[in-house]
Amino acid sequence: MDNYLFEGGRITKMEVDYAPACDEKIPLAKELAKQNPDSFHEAIEMLLNLEKQTRLGADMVSCSRVLVAVCQICLEAGNWNALNEYVTLLVKRRSQLKQAVSKMIQECCSYVDKTPDKETKLKFIDTLRSVTEGKIYVEIERARLTKILADIKEADGDISGAAAVMEELQVETYGSMDKREKVELILEQMRLCLLKEDLVSTQIIAKKISIKFFDDPAQHDLKLKYYDLMIRLDRDSSYLKTSRHYQAIAEPPRQTPSVEAIEESKKKSVTFKEDDKKKKDKEEVKLAAALPPVELTPEQDKEQKQRLICAVLYSVLAPYDNEQSDMMAKLSKIKKLEEVPIYKEILRLFMSKELINFDTFNHDFGTVLAENDMFQDNTKHGRKCIVELKDRLIEHNIRIIAMYYSRVHLKRMSELLNLPPTRCEEYLSKLANSDTIRVKIDRPAEIVYFTTKKSASDVLNNWANDVNQLMSLVNKTCHLINKEECIHSVKSIAVEE
């Protein structure tokens, strides 16, 4: 099989072995170009003739050596324009071998950092990106070159240009690229889209990453970067998602599994059939969960506490629903929360079925919350969080009132909430629209009526009961009508007799 070449799914026979000719002419051409700069084109021409022979003879190894040698001669001569021209020329030649082109592009990628100035570098990158466009066998090199170009544009302040260049890459379709490198490039796409405030594109790109990838302890650095970007994306639009993101990184990182554990896991995975993929995934998750957590430094421990605090605060700021209630219950069971008792108490208050007095809450926790970055008056997000916290506290109190009262006077309710009646009506309308509570207001009498939300089965049972009562009345009415008709007919017969 050494004399055959697999080219594009076809088996191509190597006609002639040009290795001896390459061993002779390549050093000769390099020496000629080095000793006499005027003989540069002569040395290149010698190699181009040899390249044609190796290409037509399907000698991939020798052809690769020739293409790389052409690039090396251009580099040593410092002739970047010639390098751009010959790279473009060699890639476009008829029946050019893909493996040879791949070797040449890989060699050229190592020259990017050796360019003398920025203009030459940009021109060289543009040439390489042009010749690699649409070629699957050099997709990794093109992606790396695009990342370098995006970094240059970002350094120049062209954020939109850098994001546009990166968004051209469909990294998730690259089968030959390592999974970690794929995730790094996708995260870079997300970061640039966030910088230009394109939130829709960021959400679309974020869905390309499966969070199961971060179950591997070796990917903890990428996990932190991913969730940091997701927090920046969701913190103004969804407090519940933001809380979930903080909770995901509030857990301490696990130790990387040993070689023996990995080998044992591989042996177990061999025993699973294709239809038992779920069992295999569960085994991998169990292996990761069984690993002991990494010992944290004081700075890392402080960061973990801060993330847990943010998870608690954002869960409190989220509008009330079943998911938010479950999130708070889950957070309250975390043992590390005992190290920050103030925030544990805040969480307990919002989970309890008791009214929260705003003045008392402000006296007990106002100073602590004011020190948190989330509630800074000098930022737009901080001012928004302060307003949302007041709203959530009032909404909590209204839900508690609805639990204990079936009807209440509006004046009494405004006293309990410490709000004017008009503001009470606004919050009641808001909660009624969101279907959090069932309420009706008798404005002339100024009485608020609360009703419990009925389940679908209860509504159906009530409807069936009403229908039964209606049909009973109809049957009774028909019976009475028939009775009257019978009596009337008997009386008429008696009169006639």
Contacts of 162 (CB under 8 A, 6+ apart): 150, 151, 153, 154, 192
Residues 83 and 124 sit within 8 Å (Cβ to Cβ): yes
Residue 152 has pLDDT above 60, yes or no: yes
Terminal C-alpha separation, the chain: 125
Whole-angstrom distance, CA of residue 188 vs CA of residue 166: 8
**CA atoms of 331 and 438, how far apart (whole Å):** 28
Is a pLDDT exceeding 60 seen at residue 2? no
357-402 pLDDT, tens digit per residue, is 888 998 889 888 888 888 888 889 889 999 999 999 999 999 999 8
Residue 194 clears pLDDT 90, i.e. is over it: yes
CA–CA separation, 467 and 405 (whole Å): 30
pLDDT 10s digits, 38-95: 788 888 899 999 989 888 888 889 899 999 999 999 998 888 999 999 999 999 888 8
pLDDT at res. 276: 56
Nearest residue to 190 via CA among 154, 166, 155, 223: 166
pLDDT band at 143 (very low <50, low <70, confident <90, very high): very high
Average pLDDT over residues 169-177: 87
Q: State the residue for tokens 């570098």.
A: 121
pLDDT score of 1: 41
pLDDT score recorded for residue 459: 83
Question: What confidence score (pLDDT) does residue 33 get?
Answer: 85
Laid out side by side, the sheet with 438-442 consists of: 407-409, 447-451, 438-442
Model pLDDT, residue 272:
47
- pLDDT recorded at residue 394: 92
Residue partners of 43: CB distance under 8 A and separation at least 6: 29, 30, 32, 33, 73
174 pLDDT tier (thresholds 50, 70, 90): confident
- pLDDT, mean over the chain: 85
The reported pLDDT for the residue numbered 57 is 85
Q: Which residue has the higher pLDDT, 93 or 493?
A: 93
How confident is the model at residue 271, as a pLDDT?
47
What tens digit of pLDDT does each residue of 240-278 get? 999 999 999 888 776 666 545 455 555 555 444 444 555
pLDDT at residue number 496 = 66
pLDDT at 430 over 50: yes
301-345, pLDDT tens digit by residue?
888 889 999 999 999 999 998 899 999 999 999 888 888 899 999
pLDDT, position 291: 61
- Looking at residue 274, its pLDDT comes to 46
| Residue 146 pLDDT exceeds 90 | yes
Contacts of 400 (CB under 8 A, 6+ apart): 353, 354, 355
User: Is 60 exceeded by the pLDDT of residue 4?
Assistant: no
Query: What would the mean pLDDT of 277-291 be, rounded to a whole number?
Result: 54
**Is 130 a residue whose pLDDT tops 60?**
yes
| pLDDT at residue 182 tops 90 | yes
Q: Mean pLDDT throughout 180-193? A: 93
The pLDDT tens digits of the residues spanning 114-123 come to 898 999 999 9
Q: How confident is the model at residue 102 (pLDDT cuts 50, 70, 90)?
A: very high
